[in-house]
Structure 1
Amino acid sequence: MCFSATASFTLAAVLVPAGIYTVLEVRRTNPAWLAFGIFPLVFGVQQILEGILWLGLVGGNETAVCLSSRGFLFFSHFFWLAWVPFAVWTVEADATRRRLAGLMAIAGFFSGLSVFLPAALIEDWLRVEVIQRSLEYKTILIYEGFIDRSILRAVYAVIVIGSLLLSSHRLIQVFGVLVMASLVLTYAFYAYAFISVWCFFAAVLSVYLAVILRREVSDLHARARG
């Protein structure tokens, strides 16, 4: 598969309008789901950043590369780690599951911050390379040499996917299964550029949330009329 600025901007062109519409509809009819409603919009912004990164790499624009790569890293390594379990927490009714989701959100926040903040502030701690027509984000970690990166990837997966599967809502569980399947597919075929490719697939899957949340809004209207 060939990833490029065109692929990123094309996906963003779908996600941003769909995301704005979803946010407005969810906010108007069922604000409890707003944390999930912003998924497509945020993924769209993330894809715009990666599109700008592609253009910066091709054109040799170091400023664009620096800013867009750190913007992408903010979402991929920090935001989603905290936001996904937080979103689960906002709609979970079961007290035990809600407590676990809250703990995952806290763990995701500090785990993501420990990776993102040094890479954002220290110039040489983040490099981006094009490998087989995909982007690889190479970071230096504050615990480099003490904790194996495979363990960190496992922690990431447990927090993000585990919190989705933990939910008592079938909608969220199905989304979690899809995200898990995309992770396995990405690791099997695109391990050399794992974060970039997995985020691309997850962004595509966020369309599922937009469609399902729109259906939930329609059901609410139907029940209100009934």
Structure 2
Amino acid sequence: MCWSAQADTVAGGVVVVVGVACLVRVHRAGRPERLLLAAVPLVLGLHQLIEALVWLGTDGGLSAAPAAAARTAWAVIALPLLPVLVPAGVWSASAGPRRRLLAAFTLLGAGVAVPFAVAVAARPVAAAVHGHTLGYAVGIPHPAALTAGYFLATVGSLLASGDRLLRRLGLVIGAGAVVCALLWRLAFASTWCALAALAALLLLRWAGHSPDAEPGRRITHPAP
């Protein structure tokens, strides 16, 4: 997700700290329904630390077995886990009639995750340096369709949320993913770690945010 093992280690460590802070905020606020989504930054941080090991495996700094395990762990988080975790987290944190729509996004994410999981389990995950980026080979069938489903399940669920902060996060991730993908294709640098850090900070703010504090929302108090 970053352009070197060192960058992945530093960025991953920072995002892990933010992820722990997210979980602490949710716990202190007494909002267990937000735990799934609040765990996303911690998962992203661990993902970056795992990729630091993948970098080491590409230049011989890590022996074959640990390097292969790191590549597989990276693929498991990136492919089957995140398209389920994100929409499920948004669904869990939401209330009211939107939950039906968000449940549909969660089912879409689960449907996308199945072929991803099968591909990861069927053959070894390969990784190679491509300029200042890492390229992974997993052997995914119908990659364009699955990528579209992945994007719709994750970004779509955030945009469909009734929470303005989550909608803002969806816009940031959607636009940021396009920019990161273009830079990665040019082999200029992998900037996914910067997007992960930004998403983690936005989720940290959301973790301590109360929907009742939204501007323009009418708050009624019981009569004394």
TM-score by length of 2: 0.83
Residue 151 of structure 2 aligns to a residue whose secondary structure is: helix
Structure-to-structure mapping, 1:32-181, within 5 angstroms:
32-58=33-59, 59=61, 61-95=63-97, 97-123=98-124, 126-141=125-140, 143=141, 147=142, 149-181=143-175
Residue 190 of structure 1 aligns to a residue whose secondary structure is: helix
Which segments of 5 or more consecutive residues in structure 1 lack a partner in the other structure? 220-226
Structure 1 residues 106 and 212 mapped into 2: Cα distance closer, same or farther (>3 Å)?
closer
Deviation at 1:191, TM superposition (A): 2.8
The equivalent position to 1:204 in structure 2, one of 191, 197, 206, is 197
Q: Post-superposition, which runs of at least 4 consecutive aligned residues in structure 1 deviate over 6 A?
A: none
Report Cα offsets for 1:34-79 as digits up to 9, x if no partner: 1221121111111110011111222252212211111111111011
Structure 1 residues 119 and 160 mapped into 2: Cα distance closer, same or farther (>3 Å)?
same
Where is the helix percentage greater, Structure 1 or Structure 2? 1
| Identity across matched positions, percent | 25
Which segments of 5 or more consecutive residues in structure 2 lack a partner in the other structure? 214-224
Contact residue 101 and residue 163 of structure 1 kept, 8 A = yes
Separation in structure 2 between the aligned mates of residue 47 and residue 191 of structure 1, nearest angstrom: 19
Query: Which residue type is aligned with residue 119 of structure 1?
Result: V
How many residues end up aligned between the 2 structures? 208
Structure 1 residues 40 and 183 mapped into 2: Cα distance closer, same or farther (>3 Å)?
same
Structure-to-structure mapping, 1:12-27, within 5 angstroms:
12-27=12-27
Deviation at 1:216, TM superposition (A): 4.8
Separation in structure 1 between the aligned mates of residue 63 and residue 85 of structure 2, nearest angstrom: 31
TM-score by length of 1: 0.83
Separation in structure 1 between the aligned mates of residue 37 and residue 62 of structure 2, nearest angstrom: 36
